[in-house]
Amino acid sequence: MRRGSFSRAAEDLHLSQPAVSLHIRQLEERVGLPLVERVGKRAAPTRAGEILLEHAERAFAELEAGRRAIQDSRGVVGGRLRVGTGATASIHLLPPVLRRLRTRYPAIELVIVTGNSREVAAAVAANQLDLAIVTLPVSARALIVEPLRVDPLVAIAPAGRPWRRRAPYTPAELSRHPLILYERGGTIRQVIDEWFRKAGVTPRVAMELGNAEAIKKLVGAGLGISVSPAMAVRDEVRAGALRIRPLSPALVRRLGLVRRRDKPETPALRVFLAAVESLSENRARARSPADGAGARAARRARR
């Protein structure tokens, strides 16, 4: 019911949509009241559904706490850890960390949820996720926000497109080209829009998409140029599929770790936080053609 549709819930549960519908129908028969209100393709809990969901969440939390306590008594670091992040970080930043955690602590059940920064931060505040890596700024009284690293943004173009010059590109120069940008509402798009606004420039936005991989494919097909996190184009730059240029003034997004202030620090959470330290700006530097320009942009941004 939290996901707003039966199909999304089915994906999360690794079930078919009819199976989820059947479970809901059986549950409604047992309690004797409708639990979900269906309006078009959207589904929302009724008042009875909200009450049952609140109690169910507490019950599952207690079961998980019991499982962790048993594992702790055996000296095993385990239990479920729900981590939220953006699509770019889930593809290009987290996999090595998750692989090391899975190898060293196989009893930890990692649940990775992707979404935009606002959504996953709200899920952490609502205790639906244990922590998240998000694009800053994020603010909420219930959250601890810890800066993690600076991720430079760069201009990207098809490999066959000759850049006019090697110098960094300005907002005015980029605005002369059709741009393929992230969809509105996301934090990265807000960072990019603010960069153009401060320069007094209106960009020519040809397309808006919510998926970084789709943006790269469209840029590679010659349909426009874009502004992308440097980490997201490392493989394409190495393969010669895309070309990049730094931006002037330097443009970066800041990644941070968010968790609830009142969240108990379980052994699983503790080892995850320690593992993520390897991603911090003080302990890690990306080594790629894309980040050569990006690292210089990051250094300028910190001055």
Q: Give yes or no: residues 59 and 165 share one domain.
A: no
Does residue 140 fall inside a structural domain? no
Does residue 138 fall inside a structural domain? no
CATH number for the domain spanning 153: value is 3.40.190.10
DSSP 62-128: HHHHHHHHHHHHTT---EEEEEEE-HHHHHHTSHHHHHHHHHH-TTEEEEEEE--HHHHHHHHHTTS
Residue 225 DSSP symbol: B
Q: Give yes or no: residues 196 and 298 share one domain.
A: yes
Does residue 284 fall inside a structural domain? no
Across the chain, mean pLDDT equals: 82
| Residue 227 scores a pLDDT above 50 | yes
pLDDT the model gives residue 256: 93
3-state secondary structure of 146: strand
| Residue 217 scores a pLDDT above 50 | yes
CATH number for the domain spanning 57: value is 1.10.10.10
DSSP-H helix ranges across the chain: 6-13, 17-31, 47-73, 87-92, 95-104, 117-125, 171-174, 187-198, 212-220, 234-239, 267-276, 289-302
Q: Give yes or no: residues 177 and 297 share one domain.
A: yes
Q: Give yes or no: residues 66 and 156 share one domain.
A: no
Q: Give yes or no: residues 189 and 58 share one domain.
A: no
Does residue 128 fall inside a structural domain? no
Does residue 249 fall inside a structural domain? yes
Chain segment 26-82, per-residue pLDDT in tens: 888 888 888 888 776 677 888 888 888 888 877 777 676 676 666 565 556 678 899
pTM confidence score: 0.67
From 72, 87, 111, the end of a domain falls on: 72
Containing structural domain, residue 192: 149-254+289-302
| Residue 115 scores a pLDDT above 60 | yes
pLDDT the model gives residue 84: 94
| Type of residue found at 258 | V
Give the number of domains in the chain: 2
Chain segment 157-215, per-residue pLDDT in tens: 998 766 666 778 899 999 999 999 998 888 889 999 999 999 999 999 999 998 889 99
pLDDT the model gives residue 296: 44
Does residue 135 fall inside a structural domain? no
